[in-house]
Chains A and B, each alone.
Chain A
Amino acid sequence: MPEITTLKEELQQAIIKGKRDAVEPLVRKLLFDGLNPEAIMNDVMIPAMDVVGDQYSRNEIFLPEMMIAARAMNIGLDILRPMLTAQGALGKGKVVIGSVKGDIHDVGKNIVSMVLQGAGYEVIDLGIDVAPEKFIEAIHQHQPKFVLMSALITLTMSMMDETIWTFKKAGVREKVKIGVGGAPLTQKFADQIGADFYGKDARAAVIKCNTLI
């Protein structure tokens, strides 16, 4: 029987390398050996995803390598999720995410979504072309800590402004931290529209969420 420390190390490596098939047996072995689900997630899996995120932001790995790691991570999370939910210990909280109304681009949003899940957030993905009212509905329903909005084209950037303004009118603006991202965006634009933060990529989004929890 391998030592628990060896198994932990193997699981980390499996996630970092995106080895989906290796993740499930390793998680099950660790559970069998008595490690609790929260420790598996917080001490093993999330640090592995941190390594991947760092490698990506230093351009040491390419986007598909981060995606495949996130997929491996999510397979582990799928096993742990029911136990974590039962313990009331599911990670860092809820995030509602979507591409704003008029914007049907979802590649960037999907990446952020996967990486946030990998980092221990529960992500509610509203998809593309999300009207302000739909965001508000989701805020009422899910009580998230964060609302993240994506816009890939300059045309729909102004919809972010309108969405935040609609949040204010509906009295939900102060209930959530708002993060914005997308290729044409800048920190300056995020400040102008009164968002809480701007993330230039998926890694940045995770770091900003972590600091604002």
Chain B
Amino acid sequence: MLIIGERINASRKSIADAISSRNAAFIRNEAKIQAAAGADYIDANAGTFVGEEAKHLQWVIETIQEAVDLPLSIDSPDPAVIKAMIPLVKKTPMINSITLEASRLEGILPLVAEHKAKVIGLCQSGDSIADTAEAKVKMAGQLVKKVEASGVPLDHLYIDPLVYPLATDDRSALATLDAIETIMKEFPGVHTTCGLTNVSYGLPNRKLVNRAFLVAAIGRGLDSVILDPTDKQLFGALKAALTIAGKDEFCMQYIAGFREGRLE
């Protein structure tokens, strides 16, 4: 299970403030606590700074790397920004993300191939979203084709089928779960990943819904996730779900998580 720590995202006010005031200690701490909690990649996002994204993201990336050794997930839709960031990272990064939009495919996939990076592919095209399992799987198939054609091994592709709010479509989570299962079966070697927070938009006690969704998704084969690893209840649910899914030999990861006080 590959865990991408999502906390350093400029859509969170505290992060945006830290970026604009160049509060390096704050960002370093955000990186450290995620690394300590078990993140495999640290996501770096400065997307709310329109027109100045590259300048701010560069600072964020350099600051994170002062604090932790983990590889980064470079989070931007803009090929030019990604291209400018790649030379700055010390470890082979993950690119977050491509869609089926031609400009992003053409601008980003060659960079992914050249640097042997991993890449997140969203089931989304330039002019439509996929809200059924069938539509998600169809777009996943198109992503697989494009990625293979660019010379990137499928093992480097993390397909995010996307999940929409249950509050406005009570079948939305089911569509994503069905898609995860089918994608993992139909495209051997490919990975699936997902952000969790969208699913609970508009509902009370959102974290409970996020956790339940994560557990269900792991049961269907999800093998990567974008989340806040410092959330002990969420992390506990993650570890327990992996153990239940038969992905934890002799339950050692679960026990280790418990001993380290990281499960709740």
Contacts and interface: CB of A to CB of B under 8 A. Distances in A.
Interface string A143-155: 0000000000111
B168 A67 contact: yes
Given A62-B202, A62-B203, A64-B167, A104 B124 contact: yes
Interface in B88-129: 124, 126-129
Interface string B161-174: 00011111010000
B127 A107 contact: no
Contacts of B202: 62-64
How many interface residues does chain B have, given as a range? 10 to 19
How many interface residues does chain A have, given as a range? 10 to 19
B167 A63 contact: yes
B201 interface: yes
A28 B166 CA distance: 32
Interface string B37-59: 00000000001101000000000
B55 to A, nearest CB: 15
A157 B50 contact: yes
B76 to A, nearest CB: 10
A155 B126 CA distance: 14
A20 B124 CA distance: 33
A111 B168 contact: yes
B242 to A, nearest CB: 30
Interface in A152-167: 153-155, 157-158
A136 B86 CA distance: 42
A111 B167 CA distance: 10
B19 to A, nearest CB: 14
Residue among B47, B164, B202, B203 having the largest count of chain A Cβ atoms under 10 Å: B202
Residue among B168, B201, B203, B204 having the largest count of chain A Cβ atoms under 10 Å: B168
Given A104-B129, A129-B126, A184 B168 contact: no
B77 interface: yes
A107 B168 CA distance: 7
B204 A128 contact: no
A40 B166 CA distance: 32
A154 B165 CA distance: 20
Interface string B214-229: 0000000000000000
Given A63-B202, A64-B203, A107 B48 contact: no
B203 A63 contact: yes
Nearest to B125: A104
B77 A107 contact: no
Given A63-B203, A67-B168, 20 more contacts: A63-B165, A63-B168, A64-B166, A64-B167, A104-B126, A104-B128, A105-B129, A107-B164, A107-B165, A107-B168, A107-B201, A110-B168, A111-B168, A128-B127, A129-B128, A154-B48, A155-B47, A155-B50, A157-B50, A184-B48
9 contacts: A62-B204, A63-B165, A64-B167, A105-B129, A107-B165, A111-B168, A128-B127, A155-B47, A184-B48
